[in-house]
Chains A and B, each alone.
Chain A
Amino acid sequence: MAPHLSNEEFFTSLTTLLSTTSQKTRGSVYLTQKPLLNTTSTNGDDPSPVSQPSILIRATDGNTNAPNPKNPKNKIERSKTKASKVKISTVVAPEELEGFYGRYAEVCKAGMTGLKKRDRKRGKAKGKGGSGKGAKA
């Protein structure tokens, strides 16, 4: 398994991963976070086991960006596409959590362009238009 990236590298990789997925409008990006509770093996005798654990963050495209295997054209290079699966991960120390998640939110906001934009105006106009039309007519 690939070693963990630094937080900076993780962000750059995540940005490209999200933007490629958004551009293709196809596939998925999975972001997982979980606490690293069993850190005893890495840093020996932790003086304060009650303290906050580090958070492991993973991101992957689950190989969803690979071409459709059902398409016979892609069948030959199937083994090749398997290697194209993107898998990145990073570990965030508890004291860096706040700063990390600030940037994480920014990256996600910027990258997830496929979601519905906020257009309150149009929604309102639609709602009003329906009732307004009825009133006018």
Chain B
Amino acid sequence: MPYLPTPQAYLEQSALLLQAYPDSRITTKYSFLSQRPTALKKAQARQSQRRQQQQQQSQDTATTPSQSTPAPQTPVATLTLKTYNPAAGICLQYRTNKAAEVGRLITSLGKLAGGADVAALGLGAAPATAAAAGTAGDVEMTDAPVAAEEGSAAAQAAGQAQGKPDAGAKGGKSKKKGKGKR
């Protein structure tokens, strides 16, 4: 169950998953940190790890190295979005704590619920990605199992067609393979 790096990537992959498996469910969890000491420790470790990753990825944006926030005074909530299909066992996740993203994410979830494909989401993704997704977009969203199989095949094809994904967009199934993004 991968955490996707950007909301765009999450929404794109979710759109593909929903096309392949229309019966997937999307859960949005708005959660405050657990008060248990072990949970707090875990969360801190995760945060520092994430910060390190971000610094590695974007060194040109001048992230302050001394940005240590030891146990924020006001507990910050997190918003975790999860797209899960129980039959396929595919689970896509995205986690954020930015209030600014809430509106955009929820509206996009509405588009996903309406059966929007990647192109219809209007994420402003790279044209190559949108073009590749166009092939997947042709598949009509039906609840017939045959169509679902077609959809998954198309989703995979779309994943393969994206030679070099920009926004960390990979085929939903080939998540584990594509570890070295850069």
Contact = CB atoms under 8 A, between A and B. Distances in A.
Nearest to B78: A115
Given A98-B110, A104-B110, A116-B97, A27 B66 contact: no
A37 B99 contact: no
Contact of B76 (A30, A106, A114): A114
Nearest to B113: A55
B22 A112 contact: no
A29 B103 CA distance: 16
Interface stretch (A2-10, A79-87, A125-133): A125-133
Given A52-B115, A115-B76, A30 B62 contact: no
Interface stretch (B27-35, B40-48, B152-160): B27-35
Contacts of A100: 110
Contact of B142 (A28, A49, A117): A49
B67 A114 contact: no
Nearest to B140: A50
Interface in A82-117: 92, 94, 97-98, 100-102, 104-106, 108-109, 111-117
Given A34-B23, A97-B110, A22 B143 contact: no
A64 B49 CA distance: 27
Contact of B25 (A34, A50, A104): A34
**For the side of the interface on A, what is the size category?**
35 or more
A68 B37 CA distance: 14
Of listed B23, B96, B113, B115, residue having the most chain A CB within 10 A: B113
Given A21-B30, A30-B28, A101-B110, A116 B76 contact: yes
B114 A28 contact: no
B109 to A, nearest CB: 7
Contacts of A35: 22-23, 113
